[in-house]
Amino acid sequence: MNIVYLNGPYHKLVYSRSSRSPAVTKSGTVYYPMWLAYAAGLAQQRTDFNIRLLDAVALKLSVSDLVQLLEDIKPDIVFCDTSTPSINEDIETAQAIKTAFANCKVVMVGTHATALPEEVLAAASGVDAVALGEYDETAIDLAEALAAGRDWTEVSGIALRQDGAVLRTGQRQLIEDLDSFPFVSEVYKRHLSVRDYFFAAAKYPMVMTITSRGCPHRCSWCLYPQVMHRGKYRMRSSDSVAAEFAYIASEMPDVREVGIEDDLFTGSRKRLQETCEKLIAQGNRLPFWCDTRVDLDYETMRLMKAAGCRLLIAGFESGSQAVLDRINKGTQAEQAFDFVQNAKRANLLVHGCFVLGNPGETPETMAQTVKFATQLDPDTAQFFPMIVYPGTSMYSWAESQGALRTKDWREWLTPGGMHNSVVDLPHLPGEQVRDYCDRARREFYLRKGYVWKKIKQSLSDAQEAKRNVKAFCRFAKHLVG
């Protein structure tokens, strides 16, 4: 049985489906196909099937290139990842695979297919099923059922056609023991090249791992916790996390940094403390970055720094408290100043995330957010328009308010593959929000004080200098105009 976990081609090449906001980023970021890799690793661990993880984006493959490559593999099942902006191309890829390999089963996975399985199955005659939500064990069960000649309707956690309608089989239980997965870094080493992936705020080359699923908070726009993880927060043990760091240090010597790509790595302070203490005890040499919230305290930051943390990614989102309350952020805008000050005291860098075009947004609150960002002065910042994805409460809000300008999923990105806004608020169209994000980016990065800060940083740290130069070369063209 030959099983392929596929991150399919995309016409703009550097597209990242597994990002929280899939797009071609201005900094040239290329995410690992993390969720496919976990599923492929579990299948390799639990079965005797021939497992392949293919990243057509990283390999810069066209659909025809992919089909030619698959000729050598002769797949029995292909699991195709999806995202909202790429879904039309995802379906085209699935159709091409089915045309070339009529006996191959094609299963769509990922956020968009999970949120809208009926629509995907209606649009794609070549797709045999959709595996809903966390599909790691679902994929194994489908492969084993196919090998044994059993009907797929017996497998829970899927949607498929039956008698002219779409049948959803019973909901699958979420995996509680995340330590049961092999390290995703092991999967990368077996199937991928670390040189193919890039994150502008990180040292190169890097790897991305995940130490938890879900999130204990309920931000209304957040994609993966709502669509894939059903809001349930589960964590790997501190022993498992520390052991993976040791594995990367020993078996992947080229790696210069580890990205902990949890929606919230710092959700449990007890586990966080235990993890940091174990990393310190084992003499961890690998710097890491992680996502956190602005309620993280100074003493915890100091411990994280001692364990190897280099960068905190924080969702500041807005400088308006009214806007933060509308999106259920659960933080106070004023907390951000203490957070950034404490991070600087702990010698940690901060990457700030800001979102414009939220419910209740006005030109005045957008200006307030840009001023807020420059006052905070994190090491780097991103300004995104509010992007709503099917399956999230923010999407439901936009739909109920008549604020969605279109449901042509290609419009979720600009013609260049970058973030767009399809939400038109009263007196604030999405196009204006998108343009304001470009203005905000220029105002933040072209400040004399900021430029001088980055020069001093580069002169004092050779590794940071390499990162700054590499990121600037990819990003500079977006600061002009």
Domain assignment present for residue 176? The answer is: no
**283: in domain:** yes
Q: Strand 2-7 to strand 50-55: parallel, antiparallel, or no bridges (unpaired)?
A: parallel
* Lookup: tokens for 168: 């959803």
pLDDT at 476: 56
191 and 53 in a common domain = no
Q: Are residues 228 and 151 in the same domain?
A: no
**The pLDDT of residue 448:** 85
Residues 264 and 308 in one domain: yes
Residue where one domain finishes, among candidates 119, 145, 168? 168
pTM of the model: 0.95
Does 117 share its domain with 228?
Answer: no
Is 231 part of any domain? yes
The answer to whether residue 323 is domain-embedded is yes
Among candidate residues 175, 212, 204, the one with its CA nearest the CA of residue 34: 212
Please indicate, yes or no, whether residues 351 and 208 belong to a single structural domain of this protein. Answer: yes
pLDDT 10s digits, 273-302: 999 999 999 999 999 999 999 999 999 999
Q: Which residues contact 462 (CB under 8 A, 6 or more apart)?
A: none
Is the domain of 99 the same as that of 220? no
Are 35 and 146 within one domain? yes
pLDDT for position 457 = 72
Residue 452: the pLDDT is: 80
The closest alpha carbon to 260, from 301, 229, 289, 224, belongs to: 289
Same domain, 197 and 60: no
Q: Is residue 178 part of a domain?
A: no
Statement to judge: residues 200 and 116 lie in one domain: no
- Residue holding tokens 């961890």? 284
Q: What is the DSSP letter of 428?
A: B
C-alpha angle 306-28-259 in degrees, rounded to nearest 5: 25
Contact 248, 279 (CB under 8 A): no
Three-state DSSP class for residue 431: helix
Domain count, the chain: 2
Sites in the chain below the pLDDT cut of 70: 458-460, 462-481
Please indicate, yes or no, whether residues 146 and 197 belong to a single structural domain of this protein. Answer: no
Rg over CA atoms, the chain: 22
Whether residue 177 lies inside any domain: the answer is: no
pLDDT of residue 468: 55
Q: What is the pLDDT of residue 471?
A: 58
Residues 139 and 248 in one domain: no
Q: Which residues pair with 213 in a beta bridge?
A: 234
Quote the strand ranges of 309-364, DSSP E.
Answer: 309-317, 349-356
- Could you list the residue range(s) of the whole structural domain that residue 370 is in? 183-479
CATH of the domain at 454: 3.80.30.20
The CATH code of the domain that includes 42 is: 3.40.50.2300
Q: What is the pLDDT of residue 301?
A: 98
Contacts of 331 (CB under 8 A, 6+ apart): 293, 294, 295, 324
Does 70 share its domain with 205? Answer: no
Answer whether 20's CB lies under 8 Å from 66's CB. no
